[in-house]
Every structure is written in C-alpha cells, then in structure tokens.
C-alpha cells in the first residue's frame, strides 16, 4: 500500500508539472515574432551617446560616480589569464583566483563604458579598447568551475561552451558596440569586427547548434535552475544588439523563448524559488530581465506576461521570504543576508502592479550611495539610471507578511506580528532532496527573534571543486546532521528526489500557525523508519514547539540536532539556555525545554578549518554551535518535544 501511494503521488506530481504553458514561445510563431521585433538599425533601447538631451534625463549623480570610479582604471593594466590559473581549479579546488580576475576585468570595462557615456569626451576610449582586446584574447570567457570534466581544467577552444559568464561577457561587448561603435570605427574597424567574430564563434554558434545542460531538465528530471533565464537574458541582450542578419536575429530570439519556457513551465505556481532569495535575483528576476528586454525590442509585445499569476507570484517571493531588514530565509545554498537590487525589484513590482513590492524596493534604495558596476547583470545599470526619481518618490515600507505558505515547494513562514519584526519568526520546509542547490534538509526549520537569528540554517560556504561534485554531501553544512533535523539510528538524510516529505499539512489560525509533515522517507532505510511525524507550531507571543512522533521497526538511538550561533548551556533539569545577544543589543535568554528523563544534551562548537568554511565565517563568524539531544537508550517508538520560549 505504501508503494501504491508513492506511485500515486509521483503520478499526480507528473500531471501537474507535465502540462506546459509555453507562455513565452507559444504566443508568436517565427513569422509573427519577426514582424514585432524592431529592426536592429531602428532599435534605440537607451539614448545613443550622441543624444545628450537623452542622457540629461539620466541620474547625473550616478553618472558622476561612474566617472570617479573609472578614473581609477585609467592606468589599469589588463591582466592575462594564464593556463595555470585555470588549472588551479582541478589541482587545488580553488575557483576564486581565476574568476576574481575575470570579474574585475569586466567591472573595469563596464565602468569605463558608463563613464565615457557620461562624459563623451573620448578620455576613457583607449582603455575601453584595451579592455575589449584583452577580453577577446582570453581563451574562455567563462570560469574553470563550469568547464566539462573531460577538458581537465582548460577550455577546448575548438568546441566552445556557453556558461553564465561567457554570456555575461558578450553583454559587456555588445553595449560597447552599441554606444561606441562609431568611435571604435574611427580608430580601426578591426575592433568591432573582432567583437562580432568572437561573439559569433563563442556565443551564437554554440547556442544555436549544441544542446547545453542548462537549457532543459537534467538527467534526473530536475527542472532548469537560474542558469537558464540568466544566460538567456544575456543571450537575448547580445542577439538584439549584435546579430546583423535579421532572419538569424529572429531565429535566435525564437529559440531562446522556447528555452525560457523550459524554465518557466515547471516552475512552482506559488512562485517559490527553491534556490532561495539570494538566487532569486538570477532566477525569477532574470526571467523579468528577459521580458523587459523583449518589451523594449517589440513595443511591449510581451507585456501580457506580467498578467500571469505565476509570474506575479515569482516576483512576490522576494518579500515573502524576508525575515527582517537584514535577514532572509536561507534554506539550501541561499545566503542569509543577500544584497537587494532595489532598482530591478522596483521595476518588477511596477510591471506586475504590486505596490508592496515597489515599496519594498524603495526601502532598499539608499539615496546618495555611490553607484558601482557589480559583477553580474550589467544591462540593469542602464535601466537603473533612468528610474531614480521613481524610486525616490515612493514610500519606503517592508511588507513583512504575517503568514506565508508556498504549497508547491512546501515552505512556510510565520511571525508574531504582521508588518513587524518584533517577537518570534518561524520558517520550515518540506520538499525533497534533489532541489536546486540542494541541502539534505527536509523538516528543517529556523527561528529568529526581533529580526535576528536564534536557531539557524547555516547555509552555504565558499564554493570549491567539491561543492558541485560527488563529494557535495561530504561537506558538513550540506548534510542533514548539521541542520535542525534528527539523526535516526545513525542515519542521515540522503540526496535524491525520492527522498521527500509526505503527509504535509499547513494550518493557520489567528494565534497559531502549524506545519506538519512525515520526514521518514527522507532517510535511506525507509523500511526501518516506519513513521517520523514532525509538527512545528508558532503560538504567537508565546513560544515555538517542535514535536516529533516516531515509530521504528526496531529500537535504535536517535539524536535531535539544533544549530545556533550562540553557545548553549544547561539550566535547570530539562532546560538548555541560549544566550541570545545580537551585536549591539541587549542579551535575552531563551529556554529550550525537553524531557531530560529520555534525552541528554551535548554541545559542540563546529571547527571551521576547510576551504569551504571561509564563506561560513564571512556570514556567521567563527561561532557555529550544534546542540544535540541524544536518546539515553535505544527507542522504538515515542516522541521528542522541544519548546522554545523567552525567559522573562
């Protein structure tokens, strides 16, 4: 019977996710698309550099900042990218040296371009030419971490692939061509010819002739992640600006729309991003980038997309996943404190007519901050330059919803008081263990108080060679025993889509929010774990309760794990105390009540010594503690109850 329900559930899931909408590619056929795209020679997405009245409408303070920053690059020596730097990834696991240098070169080029647009005096032109030429001479525009394994750390220049940053690079060059084409030709036509040739060989030809893994589901059936819309946004940007052949221009856009639907069709209807808020900026937000670029190139022929409920939900996820001003929900590889792109979020909110999203964006817009070119999504800078007054003219407000339930990705969140960070915040998840950027974390939960972390999801560390290899789950913070989940008979959760939550239930009342699920099937020996029903409850303005009711086939030892950034200590019998004291704030003691007749607590500080741990230290400092409640003797059935409350 159990297998029958598994098959039934998977079949039902298949029905839900196998009905493609084709929202993007299904609207216009090739001929219709050709008729709505503005021809290259007529397309003016932003004022040309000679249109000085047009640029007078841009934010002059930002443009001045770009000039100031670009002046630091006037003597910049464009570095080469030696083979050994690329080989370091497979030799030592380090990816930062190569990609750090690559990102720096592109930031420099983008800053110089924006400064030249602002000034229009030719002062930065030679350095732009040096940058273009240096980047064109690189063997690979991407990063070694994204190369296929069979090339052993060096790109196969005869068979180029398109990763995130190869596509990003093409965007930088395409805007140089758009704004400075005439000036470059006055130096020598070879510069633009080189850019055109390199983009054709490195980007357009491989994308039109070869399947890339990010274009569709992987071999396990997992839908595409943020790579799909992120790369497509740069591909579409570059095609619109650099493809001289009108037929090929339309054909490439048409293919990109079909690939984008491979991302959008299976995306959860609730808009939930299983990659988390820090990847939302390259997932749902990159989908928005595609639509905004296409609307610019078609007199708003894709405006209909914003009426789609799923697309609206995808945008709203960013504020539904917010904990407080500084913290966001960081399940899986997400960061607890991602940077908010206020201008992009505002534009998305305006497009879907969502005032709370626009106010959320305005909250993170800091007037007077120095403008700077980030590492990614370069074209967003141009949009940002022309909406500053809009951002400054809207109320700044965080929505902070009281309850959030995303049934498709099985994530819930609840807080003591809607619109406020005062008091408890609780979030928990179900799902499965083959999510994008997955951690083995079914049944995991986090607790914040007054907007600061109390019981945490550690999140990800520094990406190295191990991160996306077969050794991924050898990294401690990816494993379930370093999440707020149990270890059962020595077993931790296993990776794979078959390891999932079931019997998931969510119930919200005025003063109580309850989330329950059975996590037994997240573990590899399902026949041994007959039931593990976890119930997580927020009682507003009172406490949080975790209750695990379990039944095993045989008696075994169990351990319940709690991760925190404060060192717990024992209080009265049956109490563990967490001395909660965010920086600059008053200490508050929290009591974790448990049955001391059945369980014994143990506290350990996690050693942060590996290369991957650098990212943990940058987020949390060297203060990660694991509190484990171990059964005093083997048990076959029973319960574990933990009550979390503030000590008056």
Average pLDDT, integer, range 625-639: 98
Residue of 149, 187, 140 lying closest to 168 (CA atoms) = 140
- How sure is the predictor about 487, in pLDDT bands with cuts at 50, 70 and 90? very high
Query: Is the sign of the CA dihedral 385, 238, 315, 145 positive or negative?
Result: negative
- How crowded is residue 214: how many other Cβ atoms within 10 Å of its Cβ? 22
Q: Say whether pLDDT at 367 is over 80.
A: no
Q: Exposure of 8 by Cβ count < 10 A (0-12 exposed, 13-18 middle, 19+ buried)?
A: exposed
- In the three-class reduction of DSSP (H, G, I as helix; E, B as strand; rest coil), residue 254 is classed as helix
The pLDDT of residue 369:
79
Task: Match 């991003």 to its residue by tokens.
Answer: 273
427, 336 Cβ separation under 8 angstroms:
no
Residue 168, both tokens: 């990003």
pLDDT per residue as tens digits for the range 123-173:
999 999 999 999 999 999 999 999 998 999 999 999 999 999 999 999 999
Average pLDDT of the chain, as a whole number? 95
φ, ψ for residue 211 (rounded to 5)?
A: -75, 135
Under the banding of pLDDT at 50, 70 and 90, the label for residue 370 is confident
Instruction: Give residue 20's pLDDT band: very low, low, confident or very high (50, 70, 90).
Output: low
Compute the residue count for the chain. 648
Q: What is the pLDDT of residue 15?
A: 41
Under the banding of pLDDT at 50, 70 and 90, the label for residue 242 is very high
Phi, psi dihedrals of residue 121, rounded to the nearest 5°: -120, 0
Helices (H) and strands (E) in the chain, counts: 20, 19
60: pLDDT strictly greater than 70: yes
Classify 403-646 by CATH class.
Answer: mainly beta
3-state percent helix, strand, coil for the chain, nearest multiple of 5: 40, 20, 40
CB 33 within 8 A of CB 249: no
Total-model pTM: 0.94
List all residues 6 or more positions away from 494 whose beta carbon is below 8 Å from its beta carbon.
Answer: 433, 440, 522, 523, 524
Task: Report the SS3 class of residue 276.
Answer: coil
CA 45, 51, 56, 59 dihedral sign is: positive
**The pLDDT of residue 530 is above 60:** yes
In this prediction, residues 435-461 reach a mean pLDDT of 97
Contact between 443 and 522 under an 8 Å Cβ cutoff? The reply is yes
Inform me whether the pLDDT recorded for 341 exceeds 60. yes
Q: Does 287 score more than 90 pLDDT?
A: yes
Closest C-alpha among 571, 593, 579, 558 to residue 625: 579
The average pLDDT across 304-312 equals 98
- Supply the DSSP string of 515-579, one letter for each residue: EEEE-GGGSS-TTTEEEEEEEEEEETTTEEEEEEEEEEEEEE-EEEEEEESS--EE-STTEEEEE
CB 14 within 8 A of CB 266: no
Which of 4-13, 525-534, 586-595 has the weakest average pLDDT? 4-13
CA 497 to chain centre: 20
CB burial string 152-176: b at 16+ within 10 A, e below:
ebebeeeebbbbbbbbbbbbbbbbb
Residue 12 pLDDT greater than 60, yes or no: no
pLDDT of residue 156: 97
Predicted local confidence at residue 16, as pLDDT: 43
pLDDT of 7 > 80? The answer is: no
CA dist., res. 603 & res. 598, Å (int): 17
Structure tokens at 181: 């084409």
């Amino acid at each position: 019977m159990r297998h029958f329900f598994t098959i039934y559930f998977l079949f039902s899931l298949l029905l839900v996710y196998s009905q493609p909408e084709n929202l993007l590619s299904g609207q216009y056929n090739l001929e219709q698309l050709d008729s709505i795209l503005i021809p290259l020679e007529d397309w003016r997405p932003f004022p040309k550099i000679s249109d000085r009245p047009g640029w007078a409408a841009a934010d002059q303070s930002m443009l001045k900042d770009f000039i100031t920053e670009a002046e630091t690059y006037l003597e910049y020596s464009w570095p080469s990218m030696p083979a050994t730097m690329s080989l370091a990834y497979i030799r030592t696991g380090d990816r930062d040296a190569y990609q750090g240098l690559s990102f720096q070169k592109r930031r420099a080029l983008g800053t110089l371009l924006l400064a030249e647009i602002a000034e229009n005096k030719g002062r930065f032109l030679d350095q732009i030419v040096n940058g273009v030429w240096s980047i064109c001479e690189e063997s690979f525009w991407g990063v070694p971490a994204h190369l296929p394994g069979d090339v052993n750390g060096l790109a196969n220049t005869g068979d180029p692939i398109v990763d995130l940053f190869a596509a990003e690079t093409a965007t930088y060059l395409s805007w140089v061509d758009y704004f400075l084409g005439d000036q470059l030709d006055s130096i020598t036509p070879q510069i633009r010819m080189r850019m055109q040739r390199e983009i054709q060989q490195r980007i357009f030809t491989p994308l039109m002739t070869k399947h890339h893994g990010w274009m569709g589901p992987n071999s396990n059936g997992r839908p595409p992640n943020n790579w799909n819309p992120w790369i497509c946004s740069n591909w579409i940007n570059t095609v619109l600006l650099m493809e001289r052949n009108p037929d090929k221009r339309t054909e490439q856009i048409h293919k990109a729309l079909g690939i984008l639907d491979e991302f959008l069709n299976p995306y959860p209807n609730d808009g939930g991003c299983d990659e988390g808020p820090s990847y939302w900026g390259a997932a749902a937000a990159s989908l928005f980038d595609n639509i905004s670029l296409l609307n610019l190139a078609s007199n708003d022929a894709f405006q209909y997309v914003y009426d789609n409920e799923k697309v609206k939900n995808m945008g709203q996820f960013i504020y539904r996943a917010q904990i407080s001003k500084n913290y966001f929900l960081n399940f899986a590889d997400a960061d607890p404190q991602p940077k908010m792109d206020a201008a992009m979020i505002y534009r998305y909110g305006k497009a879907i007519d969502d005032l709370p999203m626009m106010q959320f964006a305005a909250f993170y817009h800091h007037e007077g901050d120095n403008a700077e070119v980030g590492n990614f999504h370069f074209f967003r800078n141009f949009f940002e330059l022309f909406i500053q007054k809009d951002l400054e003219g809207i109320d700044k407000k965080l929505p902070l919803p009281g309850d959030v339930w995303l049934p498709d990705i099985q994530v819930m969140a609840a807080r003591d008081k809607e619109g406020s960070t005062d008091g408890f915040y609780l979030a928990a998840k179900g799902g499965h263990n083959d999510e994008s950027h997955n951690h083995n974390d079914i049944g995991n939960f986090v607790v914040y108080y007054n907007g600061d972390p109390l019981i945490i999801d550690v999140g990800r560390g520094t990406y190295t060679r191990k991160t996306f290899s077969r050794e991924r789950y050898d990294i401690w913070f990816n494993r379930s025993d370093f999440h707020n989940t149990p270890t059962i008979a020595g077993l931790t959760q296993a990776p794979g889509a078959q390891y999932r939550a079931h019997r998931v239930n969510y119930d919200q009342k005025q003063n109580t929010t309850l989330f329950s699920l059975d996590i037994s099937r997240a573990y590899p020996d399902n026949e041994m774990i007959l039931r593990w029903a976890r119930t997580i409850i927020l009682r507003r303005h009172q406490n949080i309760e975790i209750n695990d009711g379990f039944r095993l086939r045989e008696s075994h030892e169990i351990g319940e794990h709690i991760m925190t950034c404060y060192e717990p200590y024992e209080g009265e019998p049956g109490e563990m105390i967490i001395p909660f004291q965010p920086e600059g704030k008053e200490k508050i003691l929290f009591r974790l009540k448990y049955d001391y007749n059945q369980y014994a607590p143990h506290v350990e500080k996690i050693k942060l010594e590996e290369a991957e741990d650098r990212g943990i230290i940058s987020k949390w400092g060297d203060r990660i503690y694991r509190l484990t409640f171990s059964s005093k003797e083997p048990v076959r059935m029973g319960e574990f109850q933990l009550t979390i409350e503030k000590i008056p």
